Amino acid sequence: MAPQTLHPARRAALTLSFEFFPPKNEEMERQLLETAEALKVYAPEFVSVTYGAGGSTKARSIDTVRRLIAGHGLTNTAAHLTCVGAARAEVDSVIDSFMAAGVTRFVALRGDAPGGAGVAYQPHPEGYENAAALVGALARRGVRSISVSAYPEKHPESADVAADIDMLKRKVDNGATQALTQFFFDNDDFERYLERVRAAGITIPIIPGILPINNLNQVIKFAGLCGARVPQVLIDRLGPLEEAPEERFREATLIAAEQIVDLAQRGISSFHLYTMNRTPLISAVCDMVQFARVDAASPAA
């Protein structure tokens, strides 16, 4: 079974980006680099490396970005940057380190409160107060590719969707060039959100974040922490397959491919895939959608 086939012209217009999370040790770094190397065949527009909570993986994130750029030819690597728990001078020093490593793209985020979910965010007294201020700092340094976050189901700390979109507009006004969304599973939620964003006069690309489900229980838990929703229909499709890994893998591939194809049919052409530093499921999804490979002809339609 496969999702509805896209028209060749529509399929050819699709672009990808991949997100990796920061490695905590050498073995995890090896896995990340192997995944990045394997996914290069899809010629991503860019790849990004996230930043641990409170900058906890700062040194390893910077080293990983350097290795992706210099050792793996991924010169389009974007560095995530947060401002939580840090003075402006410290954040500026990190920006300098990334730019010295050849980084020209950034993903600017406020970051989670050091105390974790449920703890109120407090800006550092000498720091950038929020993501909009951080975007402004990057723009003043001449950075021309600044991605920011967007939330189709509302950021869990926002009072309402209107406040959420107002913050996105402030980021755009300060220099943001595109937004990457939190993962979601209901495309109607994304479409409604996009309509509200455009009605607010925000015209930058809003790129949907897609999370293929490697582990259903982990995704349900993670979704609860970040204000996302896992529809019951997906739980019903994957839940009974927990003890059948091959069938679960095929169904997870199909679910993510169906989501991408449906969004493409609604006019979306760029997609940001959260890889969880794993190759098999991401590659399977990309091949089912028939994203072009640079190492071989695309799979037959």
CA distances from 267 to 187, 194, 248 (A): 12, 12, 29
Backbone angles phi, psi at 105, to 5 degrees: -120, 140
Query: For residue 262, what are the contacts with CB-CB under 8 A and spacing of at least 6?
Result: 3, 187
Half-sphere exposure for 36 (CA within 13 Å, toward CB): 29
Q: How far apart are CA 278 and CA 191, in angstroms?
A: 28
Catalytic residues: 19
- For 145, the token pair is 């590719």
Our CA dihedral for 151, 153, 154, 156, rounded to 10 degrees, sits at -110
d(CA 268, CA 263): 5
Can you tell me the distance from the alpha carbon of 198 to that of 165, in angstroms, rounded to the nearest whole number?
Answer: 10
